[in-house]
């Protein structure tokens, strides 16, 4: 086994379940907040009707729902 430099394991969000290394992390934009938003970039989430080609929010800052990365309003919210 070789140690990988990236994140290992799978997303804890049951609506996602993609590998953690397919995600990006963004620090919440709110002043002094260090909470990390977790964004899935596989662009393959089943929305029930179709497969979404948008990024998905797997984890967000609950204290600052508006503190996400650029364009997060357009993302699929799984959080």
DSSP tally for the chain: helices H, then strands E: 0, 6
**Coil vs helix vs strand at 72:** helix
Residue from the set 8, 10, 27, 33 that interacts with Zn ion by CB under 5 A = 33
Residue from the set 57, 61, 75, 79 that interacts with Zn ion by CB under 5 A = 61
**What's the min distance (Å) between Cβ of 23 and Zn ion?**
6
Residue nearer to Zn ion on the CB measure, 2 or 74: 74
CA dihedral 46, 48, 50, 53 (to 10 degrees): -40
Query: Does residue 54 belong to the site contacting Zn ion (CB under 5 A)?
Result: no
């Amino acid at each position: 086994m070789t140690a990988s430099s990236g994140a290992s394991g799978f997303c804890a969000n049951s609506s996602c379940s993609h590998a953690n290394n397919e995600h990006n992390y963004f620090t919440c934009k709110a002043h002094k907040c260090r909470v990390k938003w977790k964004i899935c970039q596989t662009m393959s989430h089943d929305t029930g009707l179709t497969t979404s080609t948008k990024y998905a929010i797997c984890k967000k800052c609950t204290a600052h729902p508006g503190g996400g990365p650029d364009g997060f309003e357009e993302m699929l919210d799984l959080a």
